[in-house]
Each structure stands twice: as structure tokens, then as C-alpha cells.
Amino acid sequence: MKKIMKNAVCSVMVLTLAVSMTACGKTQSSGVTKVKVGTGNAMPPYCSLDDKGEPVGYDVAVLKEIDKRLDKYEFDIQSMDFNTLIVSIDSGALDVVSHQLVKSDARKEKYLFPEQYYCLSPMSLCVKKDSGIKTLADMAGKSINQSPTSYEYSMLMAYNESHPGKELKINAVSDLSTADGFKQVSNGQVDASLTYQSTYDSVQKELKLDNLSLTDVVMVEDTYIMCAKGKDDLNTAIDGALKDMVKDGTLSKIASEYLGQDVFSKYADMVSTTVK
């Protein structure tokens, strides 16, 4: 009888311990908030898909590092095209979007942004070698393609407003790939394409258009991770992580790895004025 009672007590203790451990696991799990994060799928080296369909690039590396530093959050990173990203965060399907976005006044009315930018994006002009174009001033009266939904379109429009008589001809285009844009410059359909050095190098490896060249940097954007309204705590947490990553050199390291240069030390004094 004593042996039976002893076994019964042990069984109860084991069961109690198991329940306790299970409850503890639930507490730890419920203490972590899952965050749905969206990034792009066709903008190398910032955000694209590898051969296995997995998201890769600078933005993805930064997001993963932030995820490591935020114990209270767990990031679920998904790749999709840009228009889908915006629709998804507007509908509540995404909590965060990372796609080299700028903090315009129009966007600040709809979304939350950390104080700290996560990248500086220097942009140059892809032009024909014999065009004589070296700066935006050389583009007076000349044509360039740009999506009307992009911040770069607003920046170019703002440039035109501040340079009367020396405006660029901005062609509003949609769904034009970078490669096709370069081809249009090459065959003379437009005079220039606004792009990044790394993007130019990546696309030119495939196209190998010998009559094209890239100008020096003509403008620099400070780009931000964007959070949905109501995600104030998450936005603050991301901001804190980014500030720490600037201080300890992590962002500079990631930039050097994926972008080929430390954009934080090189272009901080060239950040473009925010467009309203």
C-alpha cells in the first residue's frame, strides 16, 4: 500500500511539473509578439529573392539583425512587390514595411517612422557615354522616366519647381523594370535613368550595354523602416535597435557587405531635403 501511495504521489508530482512547464512555455510564448514584416522582391541589392525563393539583401539583413535584438518581438519577413506592400500595410495584413522608403510628410500622416534612418541611398544617373550629362543641371530640357508613385518622382518634381526654365522632362511610367529603363537610355528613348551604383552594376552584368555610363552621385535619400499606425511601441523598439546598430557599427558593416561601401560615413552630409 505504501509503495502504491508513493507511486501515486510521484505521478502527481510529475504531472504537476509537466503542467507547470507547459504553462511556463505558454507564458514565454505569449510574451513575444509576432510581427508581420514586408519587404520587396525585385530590388537588388536591397531586397530580392535568391535561387530558392528566399528574401535576401541589405534590407533583409537589417531586419534580421533588429529581430535578434528585440526579445519581445518575432519578425515574420515576407517578400512581395512594392504595390502589394503598401496595400498590405494599409489593410492591416502587414505591421512593418522595409523597401528603401523615405519619410515624406504625406507618409507621416498615414504611418509611423523611427527617428533613425536605416540606410542612406546615393543615386546617380545612368546615361549614354557621349551625352555630356554629369549632373541634374545638365538634364535641363532632357527626359527621364520615373514612377509617379515613387518618392524620387516627387524629388524630381521638387527640383523642377526650384529650377524654373531648367526643368527636366519627367515621363510618368509604371511597371518599367530597371533593365528596360536602361535599355531605353541606351537606344535614345530617354536621356537618363535615376539609379543606384549597386543596382547599375548588378543590371549591367546582365545587359552589358557598352554605350552606358554612370554619373557621380546627384542626390542622396535617407530611408526608413515604416510601421503601421497604432504600432507605437514596436516603432519605438525598432528605433532603439537602429540607434544601437549605428553606434556599434553594425549598420556600417552590413552596408559594406551588401552595398560595397559604408554609406553612413560617406554620405551623411548629402542627405536630400524631405519632399512634402
Are 104 and 233 in a shared domain? Answer: yes
Is residue 29 scored above 80 in pLDDT? no
Whole-number Å distance between alpha carbons of 53 and 41: 9
Residue 109 lies in a domain: yes
- Mean pLDDT, the chain, integer: 88
Q: Could you give the number of structural domains in the chain? A: 2
Are 170 and 98 in a shared domain? Answer: no
Is residue 20 scored above 60 in pLDDT? no
Are 147 and 207 in a shared domain? Answer: yes
Q: Using one digit for the tens of pLDDT, what is the confidence trace for 215-248?
A: 999 988 899 999 999 999 999 999 999 999 999 9
Is residue 26 scored above 60 in pLDDT? no
Q: Looking at residue 220, what is its pLDDT? A: 87
Beta strands at 33-39 and 73-79: parallel, antiparallel or unpaired: parallel
Residue 236 lies in a domain: yes
Cβ(152)–Cβ(121) below 8 Å: no
Are 151 and 182 in a shared domain? Answer: yes
List the one residue out of 35, 26, 25 whose CA is nearest residue 64: 35
List the one residue out of 129, 122, 42 whose CA is nearest residue 82: 42
Whole-number Å distance between alpha carbons of 158 and 14: 71
Residue 257 lies in a domain: yes
Are 91 and 104 in a shared domain? Answer: yes
Cβ(151)–Cβ(221) below 8 Å: yes
Residue with cell 526579445: 71
Whole-number Å distance between alpha carbons of 194 and 214: 10
Residue 241 lies in a domain: yes
Alpha helices in the chain (DSSP H): 2-30, 58-69, 82-91, 105-108, 151-161, 178-186, 197-207, 232-247, 250-259, 263-266
Are 130 and 210 in a shared domain? Answer: yes
Is residue 175 scored above 90 in pLDDT? no
| Residue 77 confidence class, pLDDT cut points 50, 70, 90 | very high
Residue 246 lies in a domain: yes
CATH code (residue 77): 3.40.190.10
Is residue 85 scored above 60 in pLDDT? yes
Q: Looking at residue 272, what is its pLDDT? A: 59
Residue 87 lies in a domain: yes
- Find the domain containing 127 and state its range: 121-219
Residue 11 lies in a domain: no
Is residue 95 scored above 70 in pLDDT? yes
Kindly state the DSSP code that residue 72 receives in the 8-state scheme.
T
**What is the rounded average pLDDT of the residues 22-36?**
63
